[in-house]
Chains A and B, each alone.
Chain A
Amino acid sequence: MVNASERIRWYPGFREIALLCLVILYAPLIIVMIYSFNDSPSITVWKGFSFVWYEEVFTGPEAERFKQATVNSLLIAVCAAITSTAIATASALAMIRGRRFRGQAITFGLINLPLMVPEIVTAVATLIFFASIGFDRGILSILLAHIVFCIPFAYLPIAARLQGIANVYEQVARDLYATPGQTFRLILFPMMLPGILSGFLLAFIISLDDFIITNFVKGAGVETLPTAIFGAVKQGIKPNIMAISTLMLVASFLLVTVAYFISRMGDQSK
């Protein structure tokens, strides 16, 4: 019986296409990783394994520039992720635990608006906004722009988690005379934590990733890691770019893995 239904679900070639899909997704990344260990200044001829380009990243002539860009990127990503996660948590509570209210659909649309407006349009609009109010373009303008598009990414896992928590726990706490603040702090917040953490991590990654909007709203001389890499790539792909790319790949991979296990942990504790 199981075999029969298995056979009905099966389509010839789908497994091969799925494998092809993985090859397409990973091949360019893996090849860049391999070549980042190449001991050769000409980047396509393989001359043996070496860490020389990683040394170059940390001690070479461009090291200072990339270090500053990394510090900027991390600073912005941490601040944007914390702020957007806090905003998203408050919004999710109001949207999911509150009564229906007029404008709820519009509010939902507003929270997801940054996902619907194409990045390049958001970039243009934000640049025009900052320029017309005379806002100094630098770290702060980048941070503000990042908070906006991080909100929906933080909101989705938090709202999903909150929807999965039955509201009997809060009801019981309230029946036992807990104040709303205590109920949130002692009951709801710990239960929401997996969603909040994965929301934070996703917002963090999204902020770290952004190029287009950052490129528009950054002032002259202020760089984040993606804008610094873009600037360098414009002059040709040098091996140290591949080393930086590999480091960023590994960092993204670790963050996504952590986010994945946190959300799985949350599902199991349900």
Chain B
Amino acid sequence: MAGIIKKTGDSAKSADGTQTSIVDGRQHLLLLPAWLIIGVLLVIPVLLMLTYSFLVQDFRGGVIWEFSLEAYDQFFFDRGLFGDEPPSIEWTYIGIFWRSFVQALFAMIFCFLIGFPTAYFIATRPQKSRAFWLFLVTIPYWVNLLIRTVSMKFLIRDNGPINTWLLSGGIIDEPIGMINTSFAIQLGLFYSYLPFMVLPIYASIERYNFALSEAAADLYSSRWMTLFKIVIPSVRPGIIAGCILVFIPSLGAFLAPDLLGGAKNFMIGSLVEEQFKGQAGDWPFGAAVSMILLSIIMVILLFYARAQIRQNDGGH
């Protein structure tokens, strides 16, 4: 009875004046499934992975539950074949990380060089054709990444369509060896994540007030000056989001390096995969490599979040 009176009394406002909601009192219950699933199946596994990276490899597969820094030591230091020489820096794995880093960086730059003009062009279309353009760019984003990578492999193989056409056209005398090179990985990463760059930049440019560009033009700013001094700084959040969305998956990519790069061009993804699915079978080492990758990415995301917060503060 009291509940009904309260409700009829003041148009669904509770005693403290805030509006009642249909989820009142059930909020935690509604969030419980998400907390449970992601907590048990992602947070705990990542903590377990951290633990595994400090254990000892069991050569019959799996691990021995014994604390050890061996996995990290193996990553950073070379102690000779029998482990009794004075430690020197082990460059193999740092080199793989460095190569992956450079490849991801170039993938990001190429995606930006193509993605920014594309996003800008789409955002300045009339409403109707804009939706169509956006639709065209979005479709490949949802097409199976494996299929897209296989398509690229097919295209650039030694006896693939590109080489066949160039050969039959008499432009080249022997196939260009594109497959199994770092160029192929670069191309694959660029191709895989290009839509990731276009979409957030587009979302930013769509909100950009073009009156600013007109004002700049009225003040005799040249077209390109306006682009670099007004447009790009205004849509920076979209650009940064696009760069992160390309860089992070590129850094840990597995399909492009594995299918296009071949056995010689190892990247982080292949190094990790080999510890679990391949010959190496060193779980603590694989866990340590994954932890190092995850730490690098968390640092990048932390800087991103801080920049976002600073930008929001500056805006008010």
B191 to chain A, nearest CB (A): 7
The residues of B that contact A209 with a CB separation of less than 8 Å are 142, 144-146
Interface residues of A in 18-36 (CB under 8 A from B): 18, 20-22, 24-29, 31-32, 35
Q: A90-B30, A260-B135 are in contact. Are A17 and B276 (CB under 8 A)?
A: no
CB of B152 within 8 A of CB of A126, answer no
Please give me the 7 A-B residue pairs with the lowest Cβ-Cβ distance, nearest first.
A118-B252, A125-B45, A129-B45, A28-B151, A94-B30, A17-B117, A18-B121
Q: Tell whether B56 is near chain A: CB-to-CB under 8 Å.
A: no
Interface residues of B in 265-312 (CB under 8 A from A): 268-269, 272-273, 276-277, 283, 286-287, 290, 293-294, 297, 301
Cα-based distance from A211 to B258 in the complex (angstroms): 13
Cα-based distance from A111 to B39 in the complex (angstroms): 10
CB of B214 within 8 A of CB of A8, answer yes
The residues of B that contact A147 with a CB separation of less than 8 Å are 37, 41
The residues of A that contact B37 with a CB separation of less than 8 Å are 87, 147-148, 151
Chain A, residue nearest B298 (CB): A116
Q: A117-B294, A241-B150 are in contact. Are A110 and B45 (CB under 8 A)?
A: no
Q: A110-B38, A180-B22, A216-B276 are in contact. Are A229 and B150 (CB under 8 A)?
A: yes
Q: Tell whether A140 is near chain B: CB-to-CB under 8 Å.
A: no
CB of A8 within 8 A of CB of B210, answer yes
0/1 per residue, A161-201, Cβ < 8 Å to B?
Answer: 00000010011001101001001100010000000000000
CB of B27 within 8 A of CB of A101, answer yes
Q: A11-B117, A215-B277 are in contact. Are A113 and B42 (CB under 8 A)?
A: yes
Q: A5-B214, A167-B19, A249-B143 are in contact. Are A90 and B148 (CB under 8 A)?
A: no
Chain A, residue nearest B135 (CB): A260
Q: Tell whether A221 is near chain B: CB-to-CB under 8 Å.
A: no
Q: A91-B34, A99-B18 are in contact. Are A174 and B12 (CB under 8 A)?
A: yes
Residues of B in contact with A, size category: 35 or more
Interface residues of A (CB under 8 A from B): 4-5, 8-11, 13-15, 17-18, 20-22, 24-29, 31-32, 35, 43-45, 86-88, 90-91, 93-95, 97-99, 101, 107, 110-111, 113-114, 116-122, 124-129, 131-132, 144-145, 147-148, 151, 167, 170-171, 174-175, 177, 180, 183-184, 188, 202, 205, 208-209, 211-212, 215-216, 226, 229-230, 233, 237, 241-242, 245, 248-249, 252-253, 255-256, 260
Chain A, residue nearest B283 (CB): A128
Cα-based distance from A145 to B42 in the complex (angstroms): 9
CB of B146 within 8 A of CB of A211, answer yes
Cα-based distance from A220 to B146 in the complex (angstroms): 20
- Centre residue among B45, B136, B194, B269 by max chain A CB count within 10 A: B45
The residues of A that contact B140 with a CB separation of less than 8 Å are 25-26, 29
Q: A31-B161, A252-B144 are in contact. Are A124 and B39 (CB under 8 A)?
A: no
Chain A, residue nearest B47 (CB): A125
CB of B38 within 8 A of CB of A111, answer yes
Cα-based distance from A20 to B150 in the complex (angstroms): 21
Q: Tell whether B243 is near chain A: CB-to-CB under 8 Å.
A: no
Chain B, residue nearest A216 (CB): B276
0/1 per residue, B112-129, Cβ < 8 Å to A?
Answer: 001101101110100000
CB of B154 within 8 A of CB of A171, answer no
CB of A15 within 8 A of CB of B148, answer no
- Centre residue among B27, B44, B48, B195 by max chain A CB count within 10 A: B27
Q: Tell whether B46 is near chain A: CB-to-CB under 8 Å.
A: yes
Q: A18-B117, A28-B148, A245-B151 are in contact. Are A151 and B34 (CB under 8 A)?
A: yes
Chain B, residue nearest A147 (CB): B37
Chain B, residue nearest A9 (CB): B124
CB of A128 within 8 A of CB of B48, answer yes
Cα-based distance from A153 to B301 in the complex (angstroms): 19
- Centre residue among A27, A44, A111, A202 by max chain B CB count within 10 A: A44
Q: Tell whether B223 is near chain A: CB-to-CB under 8 Å.
A: yes
A91-B30, A98-B24 provided; 15 other pairs, C-beta below 8 A? Answer: A5-B210, A15-B121, A25-B136, A25-B140, A27-B155, A29-B140, A91-B33, A117-B42, A121-B252, A125-B46, A126-B45, A175-B11, A188-B22, A230-B146, A249-B144
CB of A90 within 8 A of CB of B121, answer no
B259 to chain A, nearest CB (A): 7
CB of A148 within 8 A of CB of B124, answer no
The residues of B that contact A183 with a CB separation of less than 8 Å are 22
CB of A14 within 8 A of CB of B150, answer no
Interface residues of B in 189-215 (CB under 8 A from A): 191, 194-195, 198, 210, 213-214
Q: A31-B161, A148-B41 are in contact. Are A124 and B191 (CB under 8 A)?
A: no
CB of B283 within 8 A of CB of A31, answer no
Q: Tell whether B139 is near chain A: CB-to-CB under 8 Å.
A: yes
User: Which of these, A43, A116, A208, contacts B301 with CB under 8 Å?
Assistant: A116
CB of B148 within 8 A of CB of A29, answer yes
Q: Tell whether B35 is near chain A: CB-to-CB under 8 Å.
A: yes
B206 to chain A, nearest CB (A): 13
Q: Tell whether B248 is near chain A: CB-to-CB under 8 Å.
A: yes
The residues of A that contact B30 with a CB separation of less than 8 Å are 90-91, 93-94, 98
